[in-house]
Amino acid sequence: MTQYLGAAIAVGLFTVLPPGTLAWARVAVAAVVLTLWRRPWRTRWTRAELGASALFGVVLALMNVTFYIAIDSLPLGTAVAIEFIGPVAVAAVTGRGWRERGAIAVAAVGVVLLAGVSLDAGPDAVRGLVAIAVAAACWAGYILLGRRVAQHGGSGGGVTSLAVAMGIGALVLAPFLAGRAGPLLTDPRLALLVVAIAVLSSVVPYALEQVVLRKVTSATFAVLLAMLPATAAVVGAVVLRQWPHGLEIVGLGCVTVAIILSSSRPATPAGDVTPG
């Protein structure tokens, strides 16, 4: 749930920093935090491991940047639903049978119902749609490459590889986005908020996902991602008394059914399809 708190903070900063720059700063700060924690220089790396981490990091950073750009132009629910095409594609391609493919179809319906998709888009809708399409493709790449890094990363493990990946991703995108990050150097409060966003939205969830990706197939992980909007709805009900109703309840039911379908038999990650 930390990513939701981080997202809530981020939206309030779009008037201070451009969305793409804010997303880049989030990745860069998360890379620093993870590097200080995991100390990847103490790990022996092969060229293949560094190459996989580098590609993963660029995809991850681009996924964050394009998503922030998209939600600056599109309703959040619409963006979330469209971006979920990425995990749907992964499950459709790597799923081993009707259960995994059926589960992702049911999960996709649930996400659409929970996200509250709106067709009321603003004048920058085209830019938002292009950005979220790129984000969806990057999300698919994040799942496939993330699992490869989690399974075959450096001897320090997937989280150490994540530190290297995010550092490389931030460096690659820096020439395009870092130039407008000046306010971070002059406003301590803004800098502190960005650190909070990085920890809540990147360090904690992505590190946990590296652990999960070592244990489940790409298709099962794609289905589990449907829990994000479902969990948000439950927390909203418990904490904010924003009780789901109508189609939102149906969406929660769909996600529940999808997770039951995907976990109804033991996963065998070794047989999963990964790139390279």
Please, are residues 143 and 209 in contact by the beta-carbon 8 Å criterion?
no
Identify the residue with better confidence: 113 or 233: 113
DSSP-derived letter for residue 265 is: S
Q: Is residue 46 part of a domain?
A: yes
pLDDT tens-digit readout, 33-51: 999 999 999 888 889 889 9
225-276 pLDDT, tens digit per residue, is: 777 666 655 655 565 465 666 776 787 778 777 767 766 554 444 444 333 3
Q: What is the pLDDT of residue 248?
A: 67
- Is residue 126, in this structure, part of any structural domain at all? yes
82 is a domain residue: yes
Residue 183 confidence (pLDDT): 94
Say how far apart CA 189 and CA 184 lie, in whole Å: 9
The listed range with the strongest mean pLDDT (2-11, 110-119, 194-203) is 194-203
End-to-end CA distance of the chain: 32
Whether residue 276 is contained in a domain is answered as no
The pLDDT value given to residue 28: 97
More confident residue, 118 or 15: 15
pLDDT digits (tens, 9 = 90+) for 188-233: 999 999 999 999 999 999 999 998 888 888 878 877 777 766 665 5
Token pair listed for 44: 């022996």
156 domain-assigned: yes
For residues 249 and 257, what is the distance between their CA atoms, to the nearest angstrom?
12
Tell me the C-alpha to C-alpha distance, in Å, between residue 269 and each of 32, 96, 107, 131, 216.
31, 11, 21, 31, 6
- Is residue 91 a contact partner of residue 101, using CB atoms and an 8 Å limit? yes
CA-nearest of 24, 3, 69 to 167 is 24
Q: Is residue 123 part of a domain?
A: yes
Do 205 and 197 form a contact (C-beta atoms < 8 A)? no
Q: How many domains, the chain?
A: 1
Lowest-pLDDT choice from 15-24, 79-88, 239-248: 239-248
Report in angstroms the alpha-carbon separations of 49 from 53, 73, 108, 272.
6, 37, 33, 19
Tell whether 181 is covered by a domain. yes
> Which sign, positive or negative, has the C-alpha torsion 256, 259, 261, 264?
negative
Indicate the pTM of the whole model: 0.82
For residue 28, being part of any structural domain is answered with yes
Q: Please choose, from the candidates 198, 265, 194, the residue with its C-alpha nearest in 3D space to the C-alpha of residue 13.
A: 194
Range of the domain at 197: 2-271
